[in-house]
Structure 1
């Protein structure tokens, strides 16, 4: 594979992977404006995040079998069309309940891009290169939380939050065209795969029975729910508790995403000397130390805004190390069922993310402590799952 082709594949696959995060992050600075326009509260607007996460989680399970049955590009094309239509609907939304519903549909469309991109990584690259490829995808994905809330803050300030969803619709169109004309048919459709409920469930059950899958899928997903906790809580934390405006919040969010980008690129370098298993364990131990310190300091009121940013920066950096490696080891045992495996992995990750964001909407009001408690519980639980699960695994690459 030439360097130019390699770069093009990474760019398009990264854009597909980034569509979901961009759709999450870009409208965050508009929460206060949305609440005002739709005559509701910021906490209720946060429920549109939960509905989005639920939509992605459920949609993953829908697209997995479709991608294995019909190949990668047809389901991807249909999903992106659904995303584009739902984004257009959000431009004209008038009440919070309709908005929550449209965000669910938008998510179901966008997760076609997520599942297809992960499946195509498994199709197109050697197994041992997958953690490195995921780290490179994180570089593309990481740019989205840098740009999205910053751009969203300025767009919201100048044109209102409705314009954000018009821009998301346009991004969906561009990505659809790039995927359709720039990606190869990486997988031959498997007509033996049934789309009836029982065979689909049996196929997922086969994937779940693989010890390497469930150990690293749950380890990575539980740990990664800390990121969803931060994303859902950040508008409340910075705009309500620390009283920054939408533009400043966008810049803070952009700065925080640097930690995830830099850590994922550091991961690519460290993989020359350390195995993925060691990288995951080291990242989770470090994350446990960071979040325990964070919790103690937040309970005793020792953190101002800058200290809080520093703690979150370190926390997100640990996720930037662990996430590419857990994803790589989760998918490594699969060839024939790669679409179903990536879908199930995504469903677990985003289902837990939806649960975490829902908990934020319920508990995070005027204090950062509930946010940090959720992060602490998720981190320690992930470490425990890893330690227990590793005892029964012989790693497959």
Structure 2
């Protein structure tokens, strides 16, 4: 498959899990009504999905390093497809929960294999350039997914969301089977050994440079998950804008990320991913401080909150793609394992940030402002305390 077809397709693959996480959010009340359960019960299925995704990734990475990228990807997509179809025909909340867990386990394969496959084909700043497009897709998907889900809910019923996911997965499965070639030759594969898998995870976590990069990326993207959790309440209920205008404000974040991702792809080959990453983290930290100072008293109202949120979220794909470049450059021989651990940290931190938002909820935008600002500062500290010091020591 040619590069100009491969990169968009890998970006689509990487979006499967974020779409599954967020497309059904607008449908939660409808699902609760159909199954005759409380909305709180349906909300727990989101945690179930994130748990399955985290568990699946931890094993898909080592499996991809042992058996190759393509077989693991195909198995994961088949699992995801079966679960999506099962959800459409399920008739109880218990079936819905278990099938969501199965769907998440299958979805973890795509996320791991995409990063590993790119690392097999590209290296250094070229990898960062290609990865920036994939990370953009991973970051845009949670922002766009609720809008897609809402439109499907308007025209159809909630099962249509999972029909759409099943159709999309079928297309990805067909293209993967026909068009994707194996990128990990047999001589570069490592034997699958469960104790060795956990030793490899320990090896990665003991590397201060990589640990700093993973924590930096995890905290940074957690700010976006905090926004996803809190923004419907803040924008619609607190500030009183309607759902259509909420969609337009959402689109501002998407536009910002697209612009910054395009800039990263243009300049990373000239300056190198390390310089771009360092600059991005510093700018993000400054934005985080300003986010708090400008919005803690809501002096500038909704306008100040929207502008500062766009500034923060726009940098996420730039930081994320260059973080992955640094992580996989340190462990090219177990890139699947490294990619899996990094993604697990990102989604795990994202789930925690959403939980913190829920705990701190006080009927104002302040919890969202606090968590987003805190995530940006923690991202900065993780990088400069761990990664920068490790670079200087070496």
Cα shift at 1:256: 1.9
- The TM-score normalised by the length of structure 2 is 0.89
The answer to whether the 8 A contact 2:83-2:100 is kept is yes
| Number of residue pairs aligned between Structure 1 and Structure 2 | 393
Relative to the length of structure 1, the TM-score reads 0.88
Aligned partner of 1:230 in structure 2 is 227
2:60 alignment partner in structure 1: 63
Deviation (angstroms), 1:119: 0.4
Q: What does residue 392 of structure 1 align with?
A: 390
Distance 1:216 1:51, change over 3 A: same
Distance change >3 Å, CA 384–CA 22, structure 1 → 2? same
1:217 is aligned to 214
- 1:230-309 to 2 correspondence within 5 Å? 230-244=227-241, 246-309=243-306
In structure 2, what is the Cα distance between the partners aligned to 1:89 and 1:364? 35
How far the C-alpha of 1:117 sits from its partner, in A, is 0.4
Counterpart of 1:111 in structure 2 is 108
CA deviation string 1:77-113 (max 9, x = no partner): 1111111122223334566665444333222111100
Q: How does 1:185-204 map to 2 (within 5 A)?
A: 185-189=182-186, 193-204=190-201
What displacement does 1:326 show? 0.9
Higher mean displacement: 19-28 or 86-95: 86-95
* Stretches of structure 1 lacking an aligned partner (at least 5 in a row): none
The CA deviation string for residues 245-282 of structure 1, in whole angstroms up to 9 with x for no partner, is 55554444333222222211111223244332332232
CA distance in structure 2 between the partners assigned to 1:136 and 1:203 by the alignment: 28
Determine whether 1:315 maps to 2:312: yes
Partner of 2:180: 183
Give the SS at the match of 1:184.
Answer: coil
SS of residue in 1 equivalent to 2:364 = coil
Q: Give 1:296 deviation, angstroms.
A: 3.5
Residue 135 of structure 1 is matched in structure 2 by 132
- Deviation of the 1:114 alpha carbon: 0.5
Structure with more helix by fraction: 2
- In structure 1, the residue matched to 2:121 is 124
Q: Which moved more, 1:34-43 or 1:103-112?
A: 34-43
Q: The residue matched to 1:186 in structure 2 has which SS?
A: coil
**Cα pair 1:50 1:355 within 8 Å, conserved:** no
CA distance in 1, matches of 2:301, 2:100: 33
Match of 1:15 in 2: 12
Q: How far is 1:25 from its partner?
A: 3.2
**How far has the Cα of 1:317 moved from its partner?**
1.2
The match for 1:344 is 341
Structure 1 residue 394: deviation in Å? 6.3
Pick which of 73-82 and 353-362 moved more: 353-362
Q: Is the 8 A contact 1:38 1:95 kept in 2?
A: yes
Offset, 1:147 = 4.8
| C-alpha contact 2:139 2:317 (8 A) present in aligned 1 | no
Secondary structure, counterpart of 2:2 in structure 1: helix
- Alignment RMSD: 2.7
Deviation per residue, 1:42-93 (Å, 9 max, x gap) = 6654443333323222211010111111111111111111111222233345
Residue of structure 2 in register with 1:377 after alignment: 374
Q: Distance in 2 between matches of 1:77 and 1:216?
A: 29
Go from structure 1 to structure 2 and tell me whether the alpha carbon gap of 1:102 and 1:238 turns closer, same or farther (over 3 Å shift): farther
Q: Is the 8 A contact 2:125 2:268 kept in 1?
A: no
Contact 2:216 2:380 in 1 (8 A): yes
| TM superposition shift of 1:313 | 0.7
More displaced stretch, 163-172 vs 232-241 = 232-241
Structure 2 residue aligned with 1:160: 157
Residue pair 1:276, 1:325 contacting (<8 A) in 2 also? yes
SS at match of 1:302: coil
Contact in 2 for aligned 1:122/1:331 (Cα 8 Å): yes
Partner of 2:51: 54
DSSP-derived class of the 1:367 partner: coil
Deviates more, 1:241-250 or 1:109-118: 241-250
Q: Secondary structure at the match of 1:393?
A: helix
Structure-2 separation of matches of 1:221 and 1:116: 19
